Amino acid sequence: MRHETAGEPQKRVDFLVETIHSLDMGKAISEPGIPEFLPGTLYMLILRTLARGPLHGYAISRRIKTFSEEALEIEEGSLYPALNRMLVKGWLTAEWGISENNRKARFYKLTAEGRKQLERESSQFDRLIRAIQLVMRSA
């Protein structure tokens, strides 16, 4: 059995509240059978998708949809504002190029700080999921 220090439970609650409220929330299409994003997962999904290499916005959206077996679909109204915020935070860089359809597109690339943020986001997400599972198993 694990013994907790006096401030540890409050730290855990504060962490979860901060995770839920400090990160952006992506939105999935509201259709039956299509899950909504957990708070804070949009940045993580974008960062993880770009870890494989630079992509333009539509390709990011398509890759997330494909890798999730069509379960997650990011709307343009959530994706592009998130990409712009990530540029400002220094997690991404962007440059114009030509897409596979021969169209001008902005390609996003992960920075070193973006890779560090991906590690932080993934770790926080894992802790959040474990905490949710603990509650779900105890009921």
CB burial string 1-17: b at 16+ within 10 A, e below: eeeeeeeeeeeeeeebe
State the average pLDDT over residues 25-34. Answer: 46
Report pTM.
Answer: 0.72
pLDDT tens-digit series, residues 61-74: 999 999 999 989 99
May I ask the CATH architecture of the domain 9-138?
Orthogonal Bundle (1.10)
CA dist 132 and 65 (Å) reads: 24
Q: List C-alpha distances in Å: 31 to 27, 36, 84, 106.
A: 11, 9, 27, 30
pLDDT at 21 over 50: no
Q: List C-alpha distances in Å: 39 to 25, 30, 102.
A: 5, 15, 35
Task: Copy the structure tokens of residue 111.
Answer: 């920075």
Q: How confident is the model at residue 83 (pLDDT cuts 50, 70, 90)?
A: very high
State the average pLDDT over residues 67-89. Answer: 94
State the average pLDDT over residues 32-48. Answer: 76
Average pLDDT, the chain: 81
| Predicted local confidence at residue 94, as pLDDT | 98
Q: How confident is the model at residue 109 (pLDDT cuts 50, 70, 90)?
A: very high
Find where tokens 């708070």 sit: 39
